[in-house]
Amino acid sequence: MTERIYNFSAGPAALPLSVLEQAQQDLISLGDTGIGVLEHSHRSKAFIAVYDEAEALCREIASIPDNYKVLFLQGGASTQFSMIPMNLLSKDQTADYLVTGSWSQKAVKEAKLFGKVNVACSSEDKNFSYIPEEVSLSEKPAYVHFTSNNTIYGTEFATEPVVPAGIPLICDASSDIFSRPIEISQYGLVYAGAQKNLGPSGVTLVIIRDDLIAQGPTDLPTMLQYRTHSEAGSMYNTPPTFGIYVLGRVLQWLKDQGGLTAMAQKNQAKAGKLYDYLDQSQLFKPTAAKKDRSLMNVTFVTGDDSLDAKFIKQATAAGLDGLKGHRSVGGMRASIYNAFPESGVDKLIEVMSQFEKEHAS
């Protein structure tokens, strides 16, 4: 099989072809070093250059202020669910969580091991199909945590929740990081598993304000202190070198595309086409509240499980992979992250239109 097909996977997800081609070359020899990128020591000059470039691009693309550290960690976004409260929440403090999906629920579960949790809002009453407008924050939370894009349910915060001055805002941006401009100074910490918009699984990007790093207890396991990774430039132990390399290449691609503003326009255009089609369809219905629709994960159903299954089968046969929705929502999910090409959205609409014609009642 040499032909690439359209990959709608929610993550790991489609990467830019040019990045994959470059990686293919660099696997054998990174530049003219004669050593492949997987084989270089993380302390080698060649890898340090890769690392420095990835960090510099990250800072440039998101205009990250100097009082923030960029860390490349392991353990996925899920490890951040525990590391955040471990470092920033004590037994007698409360952290506020906006619960907009099962990833936020998992974050809450971990936080409860370290302190008190106030669920400031929840959309569980309607299977997380919307973003609540009312948020009830506690008196003086240690921080406020939210999930900017709900990968499973196809909802996304249009803007950051408002928090009182001095309260750190923390965001799990795993499934929409760098899909649009982001004002880092509004946050205390932003984190994302790389496997959707940034690169392969195995590396987690953490952007954290200096004062929060300093605040963490010093009696935690060494690997679980932000301080450790900040002081060692993410090289306390062997970092996920290949993940950092690919992330750097993806960020260079993003920059070449025109950066975050241009990327946001492309994402708007791609998702807009699909939602426009869904809004006029007599067969397929979007599942997320219109005002909260995600530009990254477009979820939809026919309302008939067997018809959904038939559509997925037909789409797969037409070269559209990974459209099956998460089991908690059912139906279909088209994950169309930054690197997913617009031509794939066009093809999906074509296949959906054809299916709709064949099944018109």
Minimum CB separation from ligand PLP for residue 297, in Å?
A: 9
Nearer to ligand PLP (CB atom), residue 147 or residue 225 = 147
User: What gap in Å lies between CA 100 and CA 130, rounded to an integer?
Assistant: 8
Among candidates 22, 67, 65, 45, which has minimal Cα distance to 212?
67
CB of 319 to ligand PLP, least distance (A): 24
Complex with ligand PLP: residue 87 or 151, whichever CB lies closer:
151
Give the residue among 301, 254, 1, 289 at the shortest CA–CA distance from 127. Answer: 289
Which of 26, 172, 176, 292 is labelled catalytic? 172
Residue 97 CB, shortest distance to ligand PLP, in Å, is 13
Sign of CA pseudo-dihedral 269, 274, 275, 279: positive
Calpha distance 150→154 (Å, rounded): 6
For residues 352 and 8, give the distance between their C-alpha atoms in angstroms, rounded to a whole number: 14
Would residue 109 show up in a list of annotated catalytic residues for this protein?
Answer: no
157 vs 164: CA distance, rounded Å: 18
* Closest approach of ligand PLP to the CB of residue 234, in Å: 16
Tell me whether residue 103 is one of the annotated catalytic residues: yes
Say whether 253 is catalytic: no
For residue 286 the two structure tokens come to 């979007």
| Least distance CB 163 / ligand PLP (angstroms) | 19
* Two structure tokens written together for 133: 């407008």
For residue 246, CA distances in Å to 181, 190, 195, 288, 339 come to: 21, 20, 10, 32, 13
**How many helices (H) does the chain have, and how many strands (E)?**
10, 14
CB nearer to ligand PLP: pick between 119 and 349: 119
By CB under 6 A, name the binding residues for ligand PLP.
Answer: 11, 76-78, 103, 147, 151, 172, 174-175, 193
Q: Which is nearer to ligand PLP, 123 or 147 (CB)?
A: 147
CB nearer to ligand PLP: give 76 or 248.
76
| Residue number with CB closer to ligand PLP (8 or 284) | 8
Residue 132 to residues 24, 119, 157: CA-CA distances in angstroms? 44, 12, 10
> Of the listed 103, 176, 292, 324, which one is catalytic?
103
Token pair for residue 231?
Answer: 């002081």
**Cα–Cα dist 298/132, whole Å:** 19
State in angstroms the smallest separation of the CB of 92 from ligand PLP.
Answer: 28
Instruction: Give the span between the Cα atoms of 83 and 96, in whole angstroms.
Output: 16
Active site residue: 26, 69, 96, 196, which one? 196
Q: Which residues are catalytic?
A: 103, 172, 196
